[in-house]
Amino acid sequence: MSQITLTAAMRANLVSLQNTNELMGRTQERLATGLKVNSAVDNPTNYFAARAHNQRADLLNGLKDYISEAIQTVKAADNGVKAITSVIENLRSIVNQARNALNDPNSGTMLSGLATQYNEAIRQLNNFQQDASYKGVNFLTGSTTLTVNFNENASTSLVMNGFNATASGLAISGGTASGVGTITSGDMDTAAELNGIEATLNAALATLRTRSSELAANLSVLTYRQTFITDMVNTLKDGATKLTVADTNEEGANMLMLQTRQQLGVTSLSLASQAAQSILRLF
């Protein structure tokens, strides 16, 4: 097939139309996606920078889930501390009742009953300690250590340690490793013995207050970090958007201008071809 020869004017108009169509395709893609950078071809620097921002944001969002779980674990431990504190207050009440019973003619019977109540309270205290776990993690056992990472590189973190909140771990009189109370009426029949028991209860309360303060401090750190990560994720996504988002108003105006240019190009191409068409009049 022989080569078709176009005039210079026609070829110039054809090239202009091809460029206009290419620009219209790009503008249509931007309007459809809302992005001015849809692939590395559009702008390699902005494309890969935006992808890095979004990838880091996704990793940080994943860490938020772990932090949320850690917060729940701390709250579970705090629930246990509150319950154990209530039990210790009950134990103190039993000790006070025992003091009042020392001068009673039926003190032996009363003290025996109070010893039974005391031992049952110790058992319940240990039950609270055992049940204060969340997804298998219990900060009221001395062997628990939980590390919560705060960034995608694990270069910042919070290490939280548990403590033994059993009656034995708190050194409460009558508390044993097996969780069974061992107080008898004979251990409560003098003021000195009762004072000694109360002293262990007061010490246990002081320990719980200290540990509860540590739990509260850890909870604050986790909560602040969770808020910080949320803000960082928003910042990263906003940065990625600014690198790639298209101005739809501008692109809409571009589309109108390109459509006008296309129509003018078609008209111009038609005019350029009239010189060749005039030859037909010779026949």
Model confidence over 6-59: pLDDT tens digits? 666 667 766 776 777 766 666 666 666 666 677 777 778 888 888 899 899 999
Place of tokens 């055992």: 130
Residue 40 belongs to some domain of the structure: no
Residue 39 belongs to some domain of the structure: no
Average pLDDT, the chain: 83
| Residue 167 confidence (pLDDT) | 92
| Torsion (CA) 7, 9, 11, 17 in degrees, nearest 10 | -150
Give mean pLDDT, residues 255-283.
64
In 3D space, the residue among 192, 173, 194 whose CA is nearest the CA of residue 110 turns out to be: 194
Residue 174 — left, alpha, or beta (φ > 0 → left; ψ -120 to 50 → alpha)?
Answer: left
Could you tell me the pLDDT band of residue 162, with boundaries at 50, 70 and 90?
A: very high
Residue with the bigger pLDDT between 227 and 37: it is: 227
Residue 158 belongs to some domain of the structure: yes
Same domain (yes/no): 128, 55: yes
Residue 25 belongs to some domain of the structure: yes
- pLDDT exceeds cutoff 50 at 1: no
Give the whole-angstrom CA distance, residue 261 versus residue 172: 90
Mean pLDDT lowest among 51-55, 142-146, 264-268: 264-268
CB-based contacts of 68, cutoff 8 Å, min separation 6: 226
Give the whole-angstrom CA distance, residue 97 versus residue 93: 6
- pLDDT exceeds cutoff 70 at 274: no
Same domain (yes/no): 149, 17: no
Give mean pLDDT, residues 135-148.
92
Q: How many domains does the chain have?
A: 2
| Residue 38 confidence (pLDDT) | 72
Interval 84-129: pLDDT, tens: 999 999 999 999 999 888 887 788 889 999 999 999 999 999 999 9
The domain of 54 spans: 49-243
By the 8 A CB rule, do 275 and 7 touch? yes
Give the whole-angstrom CA distance, residue 189 versus residue 101: 9
Confidence (pTM): 0.73
- pLDDT exceeds cutoff 70 at 221: yes
Residue with the bigger pLDDT between 219 and 240: it is: 219
- pLDDT exceeds cutoff 70 at 277: no
Identify the CATH number of the domain in which residue 218 sits.
1.20.1330.10
Same domain (yes/no): 251, 129: no
Same domain (yes/no): 170, 226: yes
Same domain (yes/no): 255, 238: no
How long a stretch of residues is the chain?
283
Same domain (yes/no): 257, 199: no
> C-alpha distances in angstroms, 109 versus 88, 103, 205, 270?
23, 12, 29, 119
Same domain (yes/no): 234, 122: yes
Same domain (yes/no): 59, 193: yes
Residue 17 belongs to some domain of the structure: yes
DSSP annotation string for 151-208: STTS-SEEEEE----STTTTT-TT--TTS-----GGGSSSHHHHHHHHHHHHHHHHHH
Same domain (yes/no): 256, 214: no
Give mean pLDDT, residues 267-273.
64
Residue 93 belongs to some domain of the structure: yes
Same domain (yes/no): 71, 157: yes
Residue 258 belongs to some domain of the structure: yes
Residue 42 belongs to some domain of the structure: no
Same domain (yes/no): 136, 216: yes
Same domain (yes/no): 58, 167: yes
| Residue 258 confidence (pLDDT) | 65
